[in-house]
Structure 1
């Protein structure tokens, strides 16, 4: 019994010493740490390629020569056989034991950046590090996100989780972005289920860390991904550090660049990725599920410029009173994360004509659709039954003229009972299986508080409108569907988000104000301009290195955007020629200008030249002037 008691006491003391050493190392930003993987020679090239393809979880600090036990670029007088307190030994992809030293050594060692290297800097920036506060190892989780394979290596991404107070997310993102060889910025912020993590209380590696009230779960790519790579590739023999038992380096934390050195290169080159315009900023884009997204300061500033341009009011309708900053940005971020988008438009303001529709709406809808298609999204258009044939003809002509990238499905929605909207939005009416991630309404007549639909003159046009509003109402309770409304008067679907302003500040506002909100309400001098700005904003996000890294979880980033891909995205931006062409098509279908009812090349009483053409030209100039082609 005395022997057992002594062993327990020694184990406790050992754990205390190890945790104290780890905490001391974390407090010091001047001594970064490294994950270590030791592999047979014949697997070394495959593993280096695996690191290159997955730089966020596997930032390679140094690859040794075969049998090399020292590591001069990282630490003087190092001996990898004894410099780690505990090693894991794997045989045929199974963990067979842990040891305190490596005896025989004729293999290749890989030293990988570790997130412990930025914990000291987080604390210096005032960001609490909960695992250090709680005296535990960090929580590590195996995700459902597959790494980009290379050779024999293929495995899921592993992440660390650190809870961060919501008000400090930007600080945490900035500090870690500036440490690219310590995994860089987070790869996910928000609901762990979006990574396939079902239970935060049961980490796959490390210890449970308690989330405090007001904290958001933030996930960084983790070097323990390398252990998963060993387990999946099943080498006859391999070694790694034991999670939490790191190799301590001598290199300054602020010195490494984001490029990867070879075995003969040093990592003491000065950092180059410190351009303040490229530092990411964090934005909430969804509450259900909770999800934040990242975009560089440059992209954010440029999208705000777009928002300013479309907020101009040459028609003097007072639209600036409805403006909410960053609705365009947040909508574009949400759309960037979406895979399937439904777009609806159609405002039958000219009830005395056939067709009753106006020229505002369809051009902006088509501009968004063609950009979304070029980015690989699925797109569906939703219309009224009375306008089905007309809108199909417009789509067909837009494809024929090259305005629309390719044909999109055109569907209608009918109210056939209390679950109609649920069955339309979700496969088999199952709210856990939505068909769409995002719904967009642009210049779509919206339901007022009394259940009717009004044009800006206060005329009830309910008989011309199908209840597509029900889809936006139902979407509020379906996890994973976000919504955007684009309008220029306040009576459009989605503008219920600002209905109190509409009622107070817009003509006939108390009668015509739409009562149905969207998650994001984009206001524009003309609604089409909002559609053009969304297309431009999506382009900017997909040419933003910070946003693309976040979208891809830091995986598959070994190449810059292909020139032909960038060329395709650029070709699918709205242009003066394309928008003039689609407006001509609308005229040929008998669709009239909203304000005047003229069958002419105008929208909302403003002639295409020079007003609309000038807005398009300015949007393009701002967008293309801020492009960052190398991701």
Structure 2
């Protein structure tokens, strides 16, 4: 029969039938990727008994790469909880043999491998166990499509040591279409025994991986156009543990040649059925690497550029926001700032020189009324020469010593292609604004600083990320479109709503176990935030009462609605009740539901 016919035939066999073929050394089974879909596969490590307790502790301290399915008794060659009538010595297609921490040979059987009476077998979950679920969800599995073993890489991320075991994390890499990242996270999150959700998405250099075409184990897997590299913790980490601890004798499966269990991959999901795509403050390069934009909220705002956007991501730090001329901008900036302060971050606000006193008064009143958690530094930036932006952003102008991690501009007019600054009506307001755009431009050349622009019309700082779409789709777009891009563009019907969405998003990410696991790369024990900390985070979310209070403060200072010019409780011509209050309620209802399912599960 043809190679394809063989592949189809093997993929239809049960794990027990496949183990019999492996025992007979069937030449068709080179690796087990794509086989036994719907069942867990297992990495295998066999160690002298005096190392067994240390290795079990190592597994518990590093649950993502080393999910322990079963530890055998000394000398035990079967594994009744995982498979019937199995013999580990013959039921893996290829083993590695190690002496004093060196790989000395590979063999197809361990029946002649010496005395087993003092050896302990560890069976560890494998990511091949979720490939079938990925296929069912419509996510292509490129290594299976290409007929190769999965790519495996040694990273620069150290595992949590235990006893004699200390080694770097190993990861697998699977290319995933950017549009299917959410589905991939959700599917794999439900199978923690197969390593669970990814531990990194995007730039491999952030894991210390220099070249995706040169894996340390397995085969190279090619990315297709639109694919993003996605990384899962890998059980081959156990092989690195053997190499570093140097036992006199040890065995493992050969990478990609797994033990096939009879255990279905539909293991019980974690307590939460809601998962958020893992994106950390310093490693976000996933969907946003392609489009760098997020639709924060669909709505009736007349200046909305939601139609311009593809997909998502965001984070924050230092806030340049609009002069105090309209009610859109300051409330969103203050909502983000107070959430960041609650999360223990440092926040600085940047404004124009002419708006300094007014904005300081607004901040003081926001603190007095409890809308803002505490006062924040308020500074200005003016063009003082070619290096002024660099010196503002970095200590002593040294690019290796940035003062800020992230710049966020909300509802701030940005520099257009002709060097002027326009409002949505096409009126040039260059004389009213300081060149804060220079900070965003300079940040592009400073490692460690990323930028986000939040807007609703396309003329705002950072919307240069979407300039072509703004020019084509927005009224007067070719004139008003901002020319200065941000790394990430957040669009909303009203910019304040984008700020509220970011504040809620920060809250959700800090209460989401999948995201916290992502930040730790799945290493170390899972720890939820203390209850008092969760309560503080919740108290500092936007609320109808707080946003009504800050809007009232703005009106009391004579700040008007941006669209109508009314001195009233409205933003962009939309009254606070019911429009803005309803938007806030919807966002809070969404986060509260997730909070109940996710945040409290630690208790």
Cα distance in structure 1, aligned partners of 2:322 and 2:354? 11
Structure 2 residue runs without a partner (length 5+): 1-21
Cα distance in structure 1, aligned partners of 2:356 and 2:441? 23
Superposition map of 1:487-498 within 5 A: 487-497=455-465
Q: For 1:447, which of 380, 393, 415 is the aligned residue? A: 415
SS at match of 1:52: helix
Pairing 1:219–2:219 present: no
1:352-375 Cα offsets, whole Å, 9 max, x none, are xxxxx3333222101012223334
Report the equivalent of 1:116: 128
1:285/1:293 contact within 8 Å kept? no
1:377 deviates by: 4.3
1:467 deviates by: 0.6
1:163/1:211 contact within 8 Å kept? yes
Report the equivalent of 2:83: 75
1:532-579 Cα offsets, whole Å, 9 max, x none, are 122123323444444444444333463455433432321120113322
Q: Cα–Cα, structure 1 residues 147 and 293, in superposed 2: closer, same or farther, change >3 Å?
A: farther
Superposition map of 1:214-363 within 5 A: 215-231=227-243, 234=245, 239-244=250-255, 246=257, 248-255=259-266, 257=267, 271-272=268-269, 278=274, 290-292=285-287, 307-308=297-298, 311-313=299-301, 318-320=302-304, 322-324=305-307, 330=312, 333-335=313-315, 341-347=317-323, 357-363=325-331
Structure 1 residue runs without a partner (length 5+): 1-13, 258-270, 295-302, 349-356
Q: Cα–Cα, structure 1 residues 157 and 283, in superposed 2: closer, same or farther, change >3 Å?
A: closer
SS at match of 1:373: helix
Report the equivalent of 1:579: 547
Cα distance in structure 1, aligned partners of 2:549 and 2:139? 55
Q: Cα–Cα, structure 1 residues 400 and 192, in superposed 2: closer, same or farther, change >3 Å?
A: same
SS at match of 1:199: coil
1:526 deviates by: 3.4
1:140/1:203 contact within 8 Å kept? yes
1:68/1:108 contact within 8 Å kept? yes
2:317/2:408 contact within 8 Å kept? yes
1:157 deviates by: 1.6
Cα distance in structure 2, aligned partners of 1:520 and 1:595? 26
Structure 1 vs Structure 2 CA RMSD? 4.3
Q: Cα–Cα, structure 1 residues 240 and 552, in superposed 2: closer, same or farther, change >3 Å?
A: same
1:69 deviates by: 3.5
Cα distance in structure 1, aligned partners of 2:346 and 2:281? 20
2:151/2:173 contact within 8 Å kept? yes
Report the equivalent of 2:117: 105
- TM-score, length basis structure 2: 0.78
Pairing 1:146–2:164 present: no
Q: Cα–Cα, structure 1 residues 130 and 419, in superposed 2: closer, same or farther, change >3 Å?
A: farther
Q: For 1:95, which of 95, 99, 102 is the aligned residue? A: 102
Cα distance in structure 1, aligned partners of 2:543 and 2:378? 24
1:347 deviates by: 2.8
Pairing 1:184–2:196 present: yes
1:622 deviates by: 3.0
Pairing 1:127–2:115 present: no
Cα distance in structure 2, aligned partners of 1:38 and 1:207? 24
Q: Cα–Cα, structure 1 residues 471 and 52, in superposed 2: closer, same or farther, change >3 Å?
A: same
SS at match of 2:411: strand
Query: How many residues are treated as equivalent by the alignment?
Result: 565
1:147 deviates by: 3.2
2:185/2:277 contact within 8 Å kept? yes
Report the equivalent of 1:10: none
